[in-house]
Amino acid sequence: MRRFLASSIGVTCAAALSLPLVLPASPASAAPVTPRSGESPPGEPLSAEPVSGSTQSIPLVPFGGDRAGGPDAPEQGVTRRGVRSFSLVGVVWDDPETELRGRVQVRTRATGTARWSGWQDIETHNQEHAADPESAERASGRVRGSTAPLWVGASDGVELRVRAEIEHRTGVPGVQTLPSGLRLELVDPGVGTEPPPVGGGSADASRLGPLTAEAAAASAVNAELAPLGALEIPALSARDADQQNAAEPGAAARVAPRPAMVTRRGWGADEQLRERQFLYTKRVKVAFVHHTASGNNYSCSQAASVIRSIYRYHVLSTGWRDIGYNFLIDKCGTIYEGRAGGVAKAVMGAHTRGFNANSMGVAVIGSFGTTKPPGAAVTGIAKLTAWKLGLYGAVANGKTYLTSGGGNLYAKGKKVRLNVISGHRDGFATECPGRALYSRLGTVRSQAARYQGR
């Protein structure tokens, strides 16, 4: 598949990412907490609002009777301790091709309290959310193996345990049962802008100050849809969509009403974290639906903070060029621009390993293995996919072919027949987007087709 690179802008503006002071770790022997690459060391003064956030990275140590086992230990973790404020956690390791076969659990202390949560599981199967094999993004040398991120809310204490599955414990000295270089990542989303009420009129972006070169580039690619620096892309009414279709009666594309969307500036993306160039594919033939597997314990007013945290985790912790998804949708149905490059353009994401070319990834924020997805989120998927797929002449309730870039279901080069609106598990052997959300995709296809007037 042909891929296209476009420069986001030639000039960059320097800006330091600042972190608050480090709280002392509880045990004297606790592993050191270090900031992720691209951030200032602890102790620097806070920058002006909005604050872009921070990432603390803590190496895991052997637990139990395996304290001398080093990286071979089947049980590792982080002892209970106080840390700087964070809201999202994840675990990363050195080799992205190595799977973490085991159980990862975390417990956290709510900020400013003595209240600790119970143990929460972190989803370990995450390698299917990735750039395609042999792609430049995958081969950058920066990519790490990672769990899914978990939103825990404002916290200032943490404890983590990782246990290898019993069948993978060899007992042979020198044979590792867990990946090398395990680290706990604690992400603080910082203080962003409050996203505008979608569809509630124009929002005032002037209070955010001047655009950086990177922010201007990320906004300029949406110039045909919204003013430079806009916090929201307004909805396109059914009447306006019909007028566009009437103006081009012979066109393959069938424009559906465009839903309102919160822009990257609207949810507070720090544009200096991502790579400067935008990466494009040829067209959008399939929309893959995902869940973020980050838990459901967030409010709609926190959705922008969740997205900023996932963005930081994808870029600084996992080593991707940008957030992996092209769009995200919260439990209230609000749609957010994901990977930079333009919401109407065929932006190459890192969401469905083996099928990122000629597709888009839409992630509902939450975990939907057993939890029923909110109706507003299901409707949001239908509205978004009807519009975006229609721009490229794709029939929402139809089928099409994509060529696999390589994965655990289809060999590289195999042409695969897929629903135009598919679940992640249709392209890769995974639980994503969760059984409960996957069961609603028939409804999504029918609704989206109606929005397209089919």
Q: What is the distance of C-alpha 186 from the center of its chain?
A: 15
Burial classification of residue 139, based on how many CB atoms lie within 10 Å of its CB (0-12 exposed, 13-18 middle, 19 or more buried): exposed
Average of pLDDT values for 29-56? 58
Give the position of tokens 């969740």: 306
- pLDDT tens digits along 281-321: 999 999 999 999 999 999 999 999 999 999 999 999 999 99
* Residue 59 near residue 182, CB atoms below 8 Å: yes
- pLDDT tens digits along 151-164: 999 999 999 999 99
CA distance 261 to 301: 15
Report residue 27's pLDDT band, with 50, 70 and 90 as the boundaries. Answer: very low
Question: What are the residue ranges of helices labelled H in 150-250?
Answer: 213-220, 238-247
Cβ count near 277 (within 10 Å): 15
Lowest mean pLDDT among 38-47, 57-66, 172-181: 38-47
Backbone phi, then psi, for 247, in 5-degree steps? -70, -25
CA distance 385 to 176: 44
Q: What percent of the chain clears pLDDT 90, i.e. is strictly above it?
A: 70
Report residue 166's pLDDT band, with 50, 70 and 90 as the boundaries. Answer: confident
* Residue 162 near residue 100, CB atoms below 8 Å: yes
Q: State the pLDDT at residue 106.
A: 98
Q: What is the distance of C-alpha 449 from the center of its chain?
A: 27
- pLDDT tens digits along 326-343: 999 999 999 999 999 999
Q: Is the pLDDT of residue 148 over 50?
A: yes
Average of pLDDT values for 217-234? 97
- pLDDT tens digits along 104-145: 999 999 999 999 999 999 999 877 778 888 889 998 999 999
CA distance 393 to 149: 34
Give the position of tokens 């494009």: 280
Q: Is the pLDDT of residue 280 over 90?
A: yes
Predicted TM-score (pTM) of this structure: 0.86
Between residues 196 and 226, which one has the greater pLDDT?
226
Q: Is the pLDDT of residue 58 over 80?
A: yes
Average of pLDDT values for 195-214? 67
Q: Is the pLDDT of residue 44 over 50?
A: no
- pLDDT tens digits along 251-274: 455 679 999 999 999 999 999 999
Count how many residues are written for the chain: 454
Q: Is the pLDDT of residue 197 over 70?
A: no
Per-chain mean pLDDT for the chain: 86
